[in-house]
Structure 1
Amino acid sequence: MTSDKRTDYWKANLRLLVVLLLIWFSVSFGFGILLVEPLNAIQLGGYPLGFWFAQQGSIYVFVVLIFVYAGLMNRLDKKFDVGED
């Protein structure tokens, strides 16, 4: 792999990481702490939505993001021809 291709691959990888971490941060910190009061006006399964995000929602989102990351990295690896066979 050439140096330019390696740099482009690394930039794409970092861009993906930043986007996914921002999503996780906004769900865990934003929804679970900062926006907890407005979200508590909505009920989910008998529990306030803000409480749900703080206790379980951010964990579920994190697990989903792991699978999204794995899928997107596989696609990125194939695009730059560095995938595992």
Structure 2
Amino acid sequence: MTPDKRSDYWRANLRLLAVLLIIWFIVSFGFGILLVEPLNAISLGGYPLGFWFAQQGSIYIFVVLIFVYAALMGRLDKKFDVEED
């Protein structure tokens, strides 16, 4: 792999990681802490939505983001021809 292609691959990897971390931050900190009061007006499974995000939602979103990251990195690896055999 050429240095330019390696740099492009790394840049794309960091961009993907930054987007996923921002999503996780918004869900965990934003929905679970900052917006908890407005979200508590909505109920999910008998619990206020703000409470749900603070206790379980951010964990579920994190697990989903792990699978999304793995899938998108697989595509990125194929695009840059660095996938594992």
TM-score, L = length of structure 1? 1.00
- Show the counterpart of 1:17: 17
In structure 2, stretches of 5+ residues that fail to align are none
Q: How far apart are the structure 2 equivalents of 1:83 and 1:26?
A: 31
Deviating above 6 A after TM superposition, structure 1's stretches of 4 or more consecutive aligned residues are none
- Show the counterpart of 2:41: 41
Q: Deviations over 1:23-57 (max 9, x none)?
A: 00000000000000000000000000000000000
Identical amino acids, percent of aligned pairs = 87
- Show the counterpart of 2:55: 55
Aligned residues between the structures:
85
- Show the counterpart of 2:28: 28
1:78 aligned partner, one-letter code = K
- Show the counterpart of 1:83: 83
| Cα-Cα RMSD | 0.2
- Show the counterpart of 1:66: 66
Secondary structure at the residue paired with 1:81? coil
TM-score, L = length of structure 2? 1.00
